[in-house]
């Protein structure tokens, strides 16, 4: 191995020093195997098993023409959504980052609002706005003097429309970020070479941010593929099925085999999209010129178009951010949905009803409890894994990190199926525990990512300085590392708590009587025609979301949240 005379001096093999941290990491590995690996492996195995025999029969059934339909629908609806999202997101990003549009900062906050509203709330709100008796539809119909609209929100087009509103912020945020990080001198070089404003945009700027546009597009695609609430509320009643809603249907039959096979299809679509994203990111490496420089280029002067563009952007912001919330609030105060819009129609009785309704109170408590539990468990587990990987560099911790962040690629519908297959037989069926297990599995990647990011901010020498000052490993962790990552951990906790508190996709497949979540209750109310009750509950939840966001902002000094 060593060369020549140095062979004598070949080093002793390196030993890993066992200290107090080791048992903690082993415990985390064990939990990870139980919570993440076991359920996910169950889906894979059970999709090949019928009556204790290894078989491809389930896949044969999944790939028949009737069952391929939802797969095709998922793909085309998501692709269409992604195209719309890329168009809107890119245009808005250019307008709000690169031009002299008035009120750009404010507008940036407004346009990402749909990001914070649960998608199925959006579906409920848009059904109220554009449904057959919608707040926006009625005046238009009266104006045109026609009875029935030729178009309905309960359609594939309606699904794409609402999905696009909820996914375009992905594109907007990635493109706006890329535009901001882009070195202004690249554009200035083109300009000094004799290129005009439009030529610079077309030949320099757009090609450089193209990877960001595509990356945002893939995120929008993945978000659409995994979404359940929107296609369920807008598609089920016209029997338009995508994969997530087909799995919901299969479980209602119940046909576990079919649900499992469909889940595998959903995983495949999701993983293909993820691989695509990896490729785009690698492509982005070629354009490494986009790297944190803080020089801002001259904003593009809109000239005479400045105010018309502002009006257009403002209208768009109002339509996507204000109207849906206004619709929910209005509906929640109306005596009955479709009542004439006058003062006499207003009432608070739905709120009174909601707060007196046992089921609603229970659901709210369930959701808050589940979200608190999921955030705490995921953060505890995630912190140990992130610390072992990023800081202590414990052998094998890289694998823990990979396994722990794997669920990011798995649609939540599939996670619910996995948890069912793994734990339903152990007497957990229909309990809050099984929903908690699903939440921890689904949100663990967020916990690991935020904690890892926070830990990476802490230079290794800060810990080493603790050691040479006389503190042992655990003492250093307590005195130096923990205080420094605490804000990051709090942010991570809230980042898990918030989506978990209004979760629908997993709990709708896992709940039973007494273990409803608030998401399930709102969904069922809306689906059952209790529009005002659903709206009142949604408004309560939105208020909590808003409060949570404010907490997140103050915890992170404005870095996270909206």
Q: Binding residues for other proteins, per CB under 8 A?
A: 1, 6, 9, 11-12, 14, 17, 459, 461-462, 464-473, 475, 479-480, 483-484
Q: Measured from the CB atom, is 252 or 469 closer to other proteins? A: 469
Contact 160, 87 (CB under 8 A): no
Is residue 149 classed exposed, middle or buried when 0-12, 13-18 and 19+ CB atoms within 10 A define those classes? middle
Q: Measured from the CB atom, is 485 or 541 closer to other proteins? A: 485
Q: Measured from the CB atom, is 395 or 427 closer to other proteins? A: 395
Shortest gap between Cβ of 7 and other proteins (angstroms)? 12
**Phi/psi-derived region of residue 459, left when phi > 0, alpha when psi is between -120 and 50, beta in every other case:** beta
Q: Measured from the CB atom, is 380 or 471 closer to other proteins? A: 471
DSSP string, 522-548: HHHHHHTT-HHHHHHHHHHHHHHHHHH
8-state DSSP, 346? B
Q: Can you give the C-alpha Rg of the chain in angstroms?
A: 26
Shortest gap between Cβ of 479 and other proteins (angstroms)? 7
Q: Measured from the CB atom, is 192 or 461 closer to other proteins? A: 461
Beta bridge partners of 54: 49
Q: What's the maximum distance between 2 C-alpha atoms anywhere in the chain? A: 99
8-state DSSP, 428? T
Shortest gap between Cβ of 466 and other proteins (angstroms)? 8
Give Cβ neighbours of residue 326 (< 8 Å, ≥ 6 apart).
none
343 upstream amide cis, omega within 30 of 0: no
Q: Measured from the CB atom, is 268 or 462 closer to other proteins? A: 462
DSSP string, 271-337: HHHHHHHHHHHHHHHHTTT-----PPPPPBP-GGGHHHHHHHHHHHHIIIIIHHHHHHHHHHHBSST
Shortest gap between Cβ of 554 and other proteins (angstroms)? 18
Contact 129, 161 (CB under 8 A): no
Round to whole Å and give the CA distance between 171 and 4.
Answer: 58
- Cα angle 389, 391, 396 (rounded to 5 degrees) comes to 30
Q: Measured from the CB atom, is 425 or 459 closer to other proteins? A: 459
Cα four-point dihedral sign 554, 555, 558, 560: negative
Give Cβ neighbours of residue 363 (< 8 Å, ≥ 6 apart).
516, 517, 518, 520, 521
Shortest gap between Cβ of 399 and other proteins (angstroms)? 20
Shortest gap between Cβ of 20 and other proteins (angstroms)? 12
Shortest gap between Cβ of 484 and other proteins (angstroms)? 6
Which candidate, 258, 255, 235, 257, places its Cα nearest to that of 245?
235
Shortest gap between Cβ of 459 and other proteins (angstroms)? 6
Shortest gap between Cβ of 558 and other proteins (angstroms)? 17
Round to whole Å and give the CA distance between 17 and 23.
Answer: 12
Q: Measured from the CB atom, is 20 or 157 closer to other proteins? A: 20
- Cα angle 38, 42, 48 (rounded to 5 degrees) comes to 150
Shortest gap between Cβ of 467 and other proteins (angstroms)? 4
Q: Measured from the CB atom, is 30 or 462 closer to other proteins? A: 462
Round to whole Å and give the CA distance between 255 and 467.
Answer: 58
Give Cβ neighbours of residue 153 (< 8 Å, ≥ 6 apart).
126, 127, 130, 131, 134, 161, 162, 234
Q: Measured from the CB atom, is 476 or 521 closer to other proteins? A: 476
Q: Measured from the CB atom, is 6 or 66 closer to other proteins? A: 6
Shortest gap between Cβ of 472 and other proteins (angstroms)? 5
Shortest gap between Cβ of 391 and other proteins (angstroms)? 14
The DSSP H or E segment spanning 205 is: none
Q: Measured from the CB atom, is 1 or 253 closer to other proteins? A: 1
């Amino acid at each position: 191995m060593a060369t020549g005379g140095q062979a004598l001096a070949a080093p002793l093999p390196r030993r890993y020093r066992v200290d107090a941290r080791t048992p903690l990491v082993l415990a985390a590995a064990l939990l990870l195997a139980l919570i993440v690996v076991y359920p996910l492996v169950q889906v894979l195995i059970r999709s090949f098993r019928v009556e204790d025999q290894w078989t491809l029969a389930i896949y044969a059934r999944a790939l028949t023409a009737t069952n391929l339909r939802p797969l095709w629908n998922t793909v085309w609806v998501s692709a269409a959504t992604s195209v719309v999202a890329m168009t809107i997101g890119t245009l808005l990003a250019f307008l709000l980052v690169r031009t002299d549009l008035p009120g750009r900062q404010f507008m940036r906050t407004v346009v990402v609002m749909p990001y914070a509203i649960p998608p199925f709330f959006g579906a409920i709100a848009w059904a109220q706005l554009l449904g057959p008796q919608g707040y926006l539809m009625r005046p238009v119909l009266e104006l045109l003097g026609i009875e029935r609209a030729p178009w309905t929100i309960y359609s594939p087009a309606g699904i794409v429309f609402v999905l696009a509103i909820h996914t375009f912020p992905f594109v907007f945020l990635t493109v706006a970020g890329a535009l901001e990080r882009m070195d202004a001198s690249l554009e200035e070089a083109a300009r000094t070479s004799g290129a005009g404003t439009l030529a610079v945009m077309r030949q320099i700027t757009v090609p450089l941010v193209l990877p960001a546009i595509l990356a945002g597009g893939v995120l929008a695609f993945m978000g659409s593929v995994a979404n359940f609430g929107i296609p369920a509320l807008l598609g089920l009643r016209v029997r338009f099925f995508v994969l997530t809603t087909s799995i919901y249907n299969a479980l209602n039959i119940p046909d576990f085999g079919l649900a499992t096979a469909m889940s595998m299809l959903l995983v495949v679509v999701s993983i293909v999209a993820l691989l695509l994203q990896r490729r785009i990111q690698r492509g982005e490496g070629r354009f490494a010129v986009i790297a944190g420089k803080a020089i801002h280029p001259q904003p593009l002067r809109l000239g005479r178009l400045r105010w018309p563009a502002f009006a257009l952007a403002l209208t768009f912001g109002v339509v996507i951010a204000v109207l849906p919330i206004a619709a929910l609030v209005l509906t929640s105060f109306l005596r009955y949905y479709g009542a004439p819009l006058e003062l006499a129609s207003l009432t608070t009785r739905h709120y009174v009803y909601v707060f007196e309704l046992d089921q609603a109170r229970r659901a709210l408590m369930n959701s808050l409890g589940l979200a608190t539990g999921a955030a705490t468990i995921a953060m505890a587990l995630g912190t140990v894994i992130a610390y072992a990987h990023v800081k202590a560099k414990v052998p094998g911790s890289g694998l823990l990190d990979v396994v722990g962040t794997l669920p990011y690629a798995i649609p939540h519908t599939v996670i619910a199926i996995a948890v069912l297959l793994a734990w339903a037989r152990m007497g957990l069926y229909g309990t809050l525990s099984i929903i908690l297990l699903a939440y921890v599995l689904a949100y663990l990647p967020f916990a690991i990512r935020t904690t890892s990011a926070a830990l990476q901010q802490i230079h290794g020498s800060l810990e080493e300085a603790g050691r040479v000052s006389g503190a042992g490993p655990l003492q250093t962790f307590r005195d130096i590392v923990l205080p420094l990552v605490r804000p990051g951990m709090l942010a991570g906790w809230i980042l898990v708590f918030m989506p978990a508190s209004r979760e629908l996709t997993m709990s709708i497949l896992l709940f039973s009587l007494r273990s409803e979540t608030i998401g399930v209750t709102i969904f069922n109310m809306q689906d059952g025609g209790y529009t005002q009750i659903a709206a009142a509950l949604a408004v309560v939840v939105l208020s909590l979301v808003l409060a949570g966001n404010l907490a997140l902002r103050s915890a992170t000094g404005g870095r996270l949240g909206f």
